[in-house]
Amino acid sequence: MRFDFQKQHTIGKEVSCSGVGLHTGSKVSLRLRPAPPGHGIRFRRMDVCNQPIVCAHYHEVVSTSLATSIGFGGVVISTIEHLMAAFLASGADNVLVEVDGPEVPIYDGSAAPYVELLAEVGLREQEALRQCFKVVRPFQVQDGDAFVRGTPSDRFSVRYAIDFPHPMVGKQEYCWTYNPVTFAREIARARTFGFLKDVQKLQNMGLARGGSLANAVVFDDTGLLNREGFRYKNECVRHKILDFFGDLALAGVPLLGHFEVHKAGHALHSRFLKQMMTAPGLCVQAKPVRARRPFFPAAAFPNFPSPYPPAGKPL
């Protein structure tokens, strides 16, 4: 099937799945529904009276502690960054996400299950032009030695660097330029990571109740606790790129630019995005261009061996 990437897209059909919430530890059911042009990505809390809707937009970010959470009128949906990254990577512009809890499923701690879900249902072209914003002036936000910098580019690319004082992490750096094939193969499967002492502190505070070796890479003082090892040698920095990509998806439109990120996290990602999108002259709307290789194509993801069950079934 041929897609015109000047146009907006929604998912091909409704699909449901379920999993465990990272912080509540409770089972969460999720349903993705096709949505009309101009709808964007919106979340509906099915377990709350009147089933309120929250837009996936940087204006609605209410917390960046441990994960990215959006909310409106006291209604919150947490840990959305992996799902948002999958939407942006696939080219899905308009989707209604129905969830029966305060957070989306963590699954294996990566975006791969969501990539599989979207690849199975496919996309449907819509009769509305797609917007795209382009960085036209260098811009940086900083917090101590951590920073996020954006510079002009005709494509999306990111260079991310981390530095953790642990023998199996240390300094890692990775450069990635967007396309759906490399997202699925190089970024989507990278899992969230943490340190055992921090996980134990969070669980004592009533958080991370659903956290386990099944959905995170966990380090003790000297080594890695996951018997299967890493999916990539530098899985940690790749996951940071996944989080950054998902956080930038809250722009509501694809962004073109080159981004350099050093020792940042959700809070700095969010601050950078909000300032970049609201400060005059940093971003402009790019004109739709018909090209053989569009900016954010919705091409099918590559087929790679999947450890996940078919869409619609619990993981």
Kind plus residue range of the DSSP H or E element containing 87: helix 81-90
For residue 86, give the DSSP letter. Answer: H
Determine which one of 9, 239, 258, 266 is catalytic. Answer: 266
Distance CA 223, CA 110 (A): 21
**Sign of the CA dihedral with 97 first, then 29, 197, and 227 last:** negative
**Residue where the block lists tokens 């940086």:** 140
For residue 137, give the DSSP letter. Answer: S
Burial 169-185 (b: 16+ CB within 10 A, else e): beebebebebbbeebbe
Whether 239 is catalytic is no
* Amino acid code (one letter) for 157: S
For 252, the token pair is 């509501």
Could you tell me which of 140, 195, 192 has the C-alpha nearest to residue 166? 195
Strand 193-195 with 15-20, pairing: unpaired
Polymer length of the chain? 315
Catalytic residues: 266
